[in-house]
Amino acid sequence: MSIRARIDKIFAQLDHTPTILWAVFVLGALEATVLPIPFELMLVPLLLRKRQLTLAIVLAALAGCMVGAFAGYAIGLYAFQSFGQPLLDWLGAGDGVGLFKQQLEDNAFWTIFLVGFTPVPVQVATLGAGFMEVSLAKYALAMVLARALRFGALGLSVYLFGDAAIRFLQRHRKKALFATSLVFAIILFLTFGPQASQAA
């Protein structure tokens, strides 16, 4: 049985709106902390089955993700070495914070936004921001915007185009990721590049 078939079976057994939304909320919180697989693998089958609940599902996912994001920030701030780093190692992103350390110091908002929006393990941003003591307000704004755009775009695509949207995303995933990363890299340069040049 495929992963999608297994997930469809689970949601068929829990096919009640309050239960579904609570499940999405919990999974959203886990996705920002310990879940080692992309949340979209669980969201897409549910969005296809429950198009009438698209907005509610997206909001539940976002709310859960933000709860998990604050938990991850707290872990990074108070228990990075004892719990945060082992967690990243387990998720296969052990070098993530080290690689993003300079970017977090220079441009914390855009670094967190990019990690939150792209398929990079979001725990790199949640734990790393806490460890680097990034402003909580800046962290929260970047994370909520990134995840709202990511979940919102996914929900809208599935709502409007159904299976066709999923096939298109799977077929052009790498191109879309490259284009998105390029656009934000340009924005990042235009925002901070001239300032860096003047400061030098």
Q: Which pLDDT tens digit goes with each residue over 134-150?
A: 899 999 999 999 999 99
Neighbours of 49 (CB within 10 A): 15
Higher-confidence residue of 163 and 50: namely 50
Report which of 98, 119, 109 is spatially closest to residue 143, judged by C-alpha positions. 109
Say if residue 44 is exposed, middle or buried (CB neighbours under 10 Å; 0-12, 13-18, 19+). buried
The number of CA neighbours under 13 Å toward the Cβ of 188 is 17
pTM exceeds 0.75, yes or no: no
Residue 12 has pLDDT above 70, yes or no: no
Higher-confidence residue of 97 and 85: namely 85
Torsion angle, CA of 84/87/89/91, rounded to 10 degrees? -130
Higher-confidence residue of 63 and 21: namely 63
**Contact between residue 100 and residue 111 where contact means Cβ atoms under 8 Å apart:** yes
Higher-confidence residue of 1 and 51: namely 51
